[in-house]
A and B are shown apart, each in its own frame.
Chain A
Amino acid sequence: MFKKTLNISTSPHLVRGIGTNDIMRNVVWALVPVAMYAVYSFGLSALLILVTSMAACVLTEHVLARYSKKETTISDWSAVITGLLLGLTLPPNFPLWMAFLGGIISIALGKFAFGGLGYNVFNPALVGRAFLQAAFPVAITTWFPVYAPERFSTVSAATFTLPFLEPATDGFTGATPLSAFKFDHVTTSTSDLALGLITGSTGETCAVLIVLGGVYLAARNMMNWRIPVSILATVYALSGILYMVDSQIYPSPDFMLFSGGLMLGAVFMATDMVGSPITSVGIWIYGAVIGLLVVVIRIWGGLPEGVMYAILLGNALTPHIDNLVRPRVYGTGKTMDIRE
């Protein structure tokens, strides 16, 4: 009376049900408000940048998967995240062809060269951005005003620059709060920074929305909250000490926390699971190292912003941290009265 064949599997026969694609998709959801605000504050140019970088990443992922005779992996959403993150770290008036190129580099060099999802050492979006920073140092530091009145009717003159031509300059070079502080010693209001009223890269301006996305992911257990907390706490503590030493020379810790790409980097870039350590202790170390590097680069380095390099260096350290920090295995070491 019963069927002849039964399905068999090896234990456990239950799965919790949250899949890798679910995590990735939720990261995208968490970034949606950030992206929407970017489009609202910067207009059409920002929308075009985001669409272009996402399209470049997804397309590259698909083509490379096909080329290596594998099933396409775009359905795991990870390429969408990479594209979105890359776009959010670029100036809103960045030439589209450069953004497209950055997307290709992100996926090809940052991800597939290492073996695809799960095997990349560095955050792919930051690999792409590092390439763009090296290749187009001027374009990547040319900024666009926030809340420009005609932002929904026209796009920045630089946006449609043809490949390999000098972009038209209607942006204003080198006037982000960080460079203003570094080179001209002008401080910007922290509340303006937190609310996204000051210009910057497409998605880095509104700290409030970034934190909101982070809280959503952390609450759903899809992001390790220790990473942003440790990075931000380290930056705050170190710059706080420096500020106490000499508030004339060093920026205030509030300014450090809310300026530049720190929030976006700490919440959405450094938290890339593949590139961050696997143990909690390892993560505290990783976050502290990134925070330290951010402060060192911003204050003593040649660049106004150091979040990208700090995270890339943190990614490079991750395998070593995982090797060094191993939890004590049950039953090895002290066995009686372990709680005393």
Chain B
Amino acid sequence: MGFLNFHNNSFKHGVHPPEQKSETNGLPIRQFPFSPVIIMPMVQHLGAPSQIIVREGQEVVRGQLLAKAGGYVSVPQHAPVSGTVRKIANVPTISGKMVQGIYIETFPFSGQEVMEGKPIDHETAIWEEILQGIQDAGIVGLGGAAFPTHVKLKIPEGKHCDTLIINGIECEPYLTTDHRVMLEQSDDIFTGIRYLLKATGAKRVIISIEANKQDAADHLSARIPKDMPVTVQVVPVKYPQGAEKMLVTALLGREVPSGGLPIEVNAVVVNVATTAEIGRLLPHGRGIQERVITITGPGVKKKGNYLIPIGTPLRYVLEQVGADENVSEVYMGGPMMGVAVSNLDISITKGTSGIVIFNENDIKRPDKVYPCIKCGACVDACPISLNPSKLGILAKFEAYDEMATNYHLMDCFECGSCSYVCPSHIPLVQYFRLSKSIVRKRNAAAKAAG
């Protein structure tokens, strides 16, 4: 904010969308029923698709390996239920793309006992074994990005990690999964931190929580094991604080270099639910089969935080929670960065942190797009100090190279703050998404041409 820069213990700019968390943040996590059919797409994470190792007709036990990792930046997948592999075929995903996947018919009367594998002990295991264990458990960032966690934890040659940040910010409106995990799974979180400390070699751990979850902060603070270098830090509520770059700045006063990862400034950020998952799975050598998901919004009766098997079809979820027949909008993830669902036949994936459901007219839609009046609201909102107004005008003129070289287009991480505040309702983030993909294609073509 120019000459009046008082943002000392925070990142610059940001926005304050209505939080909408009060309807579910007091509801304990509940186990969701097993759907009669489970659909497991082989792309649920960033990176190479998983490679299927089961065949049609084969019976699988809950927790059994269905597919192995398709490479280093990839994770394996485990059976979320005991049942029969009915079909291996292309399945729909939220992006609209069809990918290879597995249909499992759930055994109706199975007790759904979980198969266990080789346990990994945080006392004796060395860091390579822990990273391998995390990959073998199929763990990805549960905050929504679904980036394979073991890749993120690998400290590059010549770098070191001084601070491990556990991300319990959950800045997306409506979502309360991390909140409930912090309140209900503190033992798993601290066990997970033990693994993470060993894997990264960090000297200290900061569990960061926004001020709207003070109860979670108090709960965790009271339970920090004596021998662990952990502090809980409560930060003011501001979107998009959960973005790891913003969080590193808010907590440490360091900026992650453009195009780089937090390790460039000696930090590693791991989502709190991911941490709990590591602490729960690794001691038993299990794979991930379910995750906590907030289901909320005006279009649903049984709002809550549910432990839902991965691969559960969205249509089944909506039926179980009593979604309104006239449901008109379903978002996977929060309303700021989540994706609108076009097809209810997709399934819950590892990256699904929430399902927000609206009926017709619940969402105020701007009636029309006005020209940019250069009010500067977007400039004051952008957490990385881009000029979305100028970028938007350049996008209209298709000046993509100018956007990338002079206006840092590629640094945009699509948090949506600019579009949220724009009084002219210009779909800025959508412009930038398109522009970025065009620039990426051009760069790839230029590279291919030598």
State the Cβ distance, B323 to closest chain A Cβ, in Å. Answer: 7
* B420, A15: Cβ atoms closer than 8 Å: yes
* A330, B373: Cβ atoms closer than 8 Å: no
Tell yes or no: B327 within 8 A of A by CB.
yes
* A2, B17: Cβ atoms closer than 8 Å: no
Interfacial residues of chain B within 360-380, with CB under 8 A of chain A in the complex: 363-366, 370-376, 379-380
* A331, B260: Cβ atoms closer than 8 Å: yes
Stretch at the interface among A6-14, A142-150, A203-211: A6-14
Tell yes or no: A69 within 8 A of B by CB.
no
User: In the complex, which residue of chain A has the Cβ closest to the Cβ of B363?
Assistant: A13
A-side contacts of B365, CB under 8 Å? 15
B-side contacts of A76, CB under 8 Å? 370
* A8, B326: Cβ atoms closer than 8 Å: no
Task: Tell me, in angstroms, the Cα distance from A265 to B237 when the chains sit together.
Answer: 38
**Contact A2-B419, Cβ < 8 Å, known A7-B340, A331-B256:** no
Tell yes or no: B330 within 8 A of A by CB.
yes
Task: Tell me, in angstroms, the Cα distance from A280 to B2 when the chains sit together.
Answer: 5
Task: Tell me, in angstroms, the Cα distance from A274 to B376 when the chains sit together.
Answer: 10
User: In the complex, which residue of chain B has the Cβ closest to the Cβ of A21?
Assistant: B370
Tell yes or no: A184 within 8 A of B by CB.
no
Stretch at the interface among A29-37, A52-60, A112-120, A162-170: A112-120
B373 CB contact (under 8 Å) in A10, A224, A273, A280: A273
* B255, A334: Cβ atoms closer than 8 Å: yes
**Contact A278-B374, Cβ < 8 Å, known A7-B329, A12-B419:** yes
Tell yes or no: A20 within 8 A of B by CB.
yes
B-side contacts of A116, CB under 8 Å? 371
* A335, B257: Cβ atoms closer than 8 Å: yes
Tell yes or no: B390 within 8 A of A by CB.
yes
A336 CB contact (under 8 Å) in B18, B265, B325, B342: B265
Stretch at the interface among B195-203, B275-283, B427-435: B427-435
Stretch at the interface among A124-132, A175-183, A191-199, A320-328: A320-328
Quick one: CB contact mask for B239-281 with A, threshold 8 Å, 1 for yes? 0000001000100011111111000110000000000000000
A-side contacts of B390, CB under 8 Å? 278, 322
A-side contacts of B419, CB under 8 Å? 12, 15
**Contact A327-B265, Cβ < 8 Å, known A116-B371, A280-B4:** no
User: In the complex, which residue of chain B has the Cβ closest to the Cβ of A8?
Assistant: B340
Task: Tell me, in angstroms, the Cα distance from A336 to B274 when the chains sit together.
Answer: 27
Task: Tell me, in angstroms, the Cα distance from A7 to B341 when the chains sit together.
Answer: 8
Task: Tell me, in angstroms, the Cα distance from A224 to B337 when the chains sit together.
Answer: 29
Task: Tell me, in angstroms, the Cα distance from A22 to B264 when the chains sit together.
Answer: 44
* B423, A7: Cβ atoms closer than 8 Å: no
State the Cβ distance, B382 to closest chain A Cβ, in Å. Answer: 9
State the Cβ distance, A335 to closest chain B Cβ, in Å. Answer: 5
Interfacial residues of chain A within 300-334, with CB under 8 A of chain B in the complex: 322, 326-332, 334
B-side contacts of A118, CB under 8 Å? 370-374, 424
State the Cβ distance, A98 to closest chain B Cβ, in Å. Answer: 29
Tell yes or no: A338 within 8 A of B by CB.
yes
Tell yes or no: B100 within 8 A of A by CB.
no
B-side contacts of A284, CB under 8 Å? 2-3
Task: Tell me, in angstroms, the Cα distance from A17 to B363 when the chains sit together.
Answer: 11
B-side contacts of A327, CB under 8 Å? 379, 385, 387
Task: Tell me, in angstroms, the Cα distance from A116 to B373 when the chains sit together.
Answer: 10
* A18, B371: Cβ atoms closer than 8 Å: no
* A280, B3: Cβ atoms closer than 8 Å: yes
State the Cβ distance, A282 to closest chain B Cβ, in Å. Answer: 8
**Contact A13-B255, Cβ < 8 Å, known A117-B371, A118-B373, A330-B384:** no
* B340, A6: Cβ atoms closer than 8 Å: yes
Stretch at the interface among B176-184, B220-228, B408-416: B408-416
**A interface majority secondary structure:** loop
A-side contacts of B256, CB under 8 Å? 330-331, 335
* B385, A328: Cβ atoms closer than 8 Å: yes
Task: Tell me, in angstroms, the Cα distance from A315 to B416 when the chains sit together.
Answer: 30
State the Cβ distance, A315 to closest chain B Cβ, in Å. Answer: 11
Interface centre among A16, A17, A332 (most CB of B within 10 A): A16
B323 CB contact (under 8 Å) in A2, A16, A19, A337: A2
A-side contacts of B255, CB under 8 Å? 330-331, 334-335, 338
Interfacial residues of chain B within 6-26, with CB under 8 A of chain A in the complex: 8, 11-12, 15, 17-18
B-side contacts of A338, CB under 8 Å? 249, 253-255
* A330, B258: Cβ atoms closer than 8 Å: yes
* A13, B331: Cβ atoms closer than 8 Å: yes
* A14, B420: Cβ atoms closer than 8 Å: yes
* A339, B336: Cβ atoms closer than 8 Å: no
A-side contacts of B363, CB under 8 Å? 13
* B429, A10: Cβ atoms closer than 8 Å: yes
Interfacial residues of chain B within 160-206, with CB under 8 A of chain A in the complex: 173
Task: Tell me, in angstroms, the Cα distance from A117 to B327 when the chains sit together.
Answer: 37
Quick one: CB contact mask for A148-164 with B, threshold 8 Å, 1 for yes? 00000000000000000
Tell yes or no: A247 within 8 A of B by CB.
no
Tell yes or no: A245 within 8 A of B by CB.
no
Interface centre among A276, A335, A340 (most CB of B within 10 A): A335
**Contact A23-B327, Cβ < 8 Å, known A329-B385, A331-B255, A339-B253:** no
Tell yes or no: B339 within 8 A of A by CB.
yes
* B340, A10: Cβ atoms closer than 8 Å: yes
A10 CB contact (under 8 Å) in B12, B249, B254, B430: B430
Tell yes or no: A279 within 8 A of B by CB.
yes
Interfacial residues of chain B within 421-443, with CB under 8 A of chain A in the complex: 421-425, 427, 429-430, 433
* B424, A20: Cβ atoms closer than 8 Å: yes
* B420, A7: Cβ atoms closer than 8 Å: no
B-side contacts of A337, CB under 8 Å? 253-254
Tell yes or no: A249 within 8 A of B by CB.
no
A-side contacts of B319, CB under 8 Å? 1
Task: Tell me, in angstroms, the Cα distance from A23 to B376 when the chains sit together.
Answer: 13
* A22, B423: Cβ atoms closer than 8 Å: yes
* A2, B374: Cβ atoms closer than 8 Å: no
State the Cβ distance, A175 to closest chain B Cβ, in Å. Answer: 39
A14 CB contact (under 8 Å) in B173, B245, B249, B423: B173
Interface centre among A20, A116, A328, A330 (most CB of B within 10 A): A330
User: In the complex, which residue of chain B has the Cβ closest to the Cβ of A76?
Assistant: B370
**Contact A8-B342, Cβ < 8 Å, known A23-B375, A328-B385:** yes
Q: A19-B423, A20-B370 are in contact. List 16 more A-B contacts (CB 8 A).
A: A2-B344, A11-B335, A12-B335, A12-B416, A17-B364, A19-B370, A19-B424, A118-B374, A273-B375, A279-B376, A329-B408, A330-B11, A330-B383, A330-B411, A332-B258, A335-B264
List 4 A-B pairs, minimum CB-CB distance, nearest first.
A280-B2, A12-B416, A118-B371, A330-B384
**Can you list 8 A-B pairs, Cβ within 8 angstroms, ordered by A?**
A6-B344, A12-B337, A14-B173, A19-B370, A280-B380, A329-B386, A330-B383, A331-B259
Interfacial residues, chain A to chain B (CB-CB below 8 A): 1-3, 6-23, 76, 116-119, 224, 226, 273-274, 276, 278-281, 283-284, 322, 326-332, 334-340
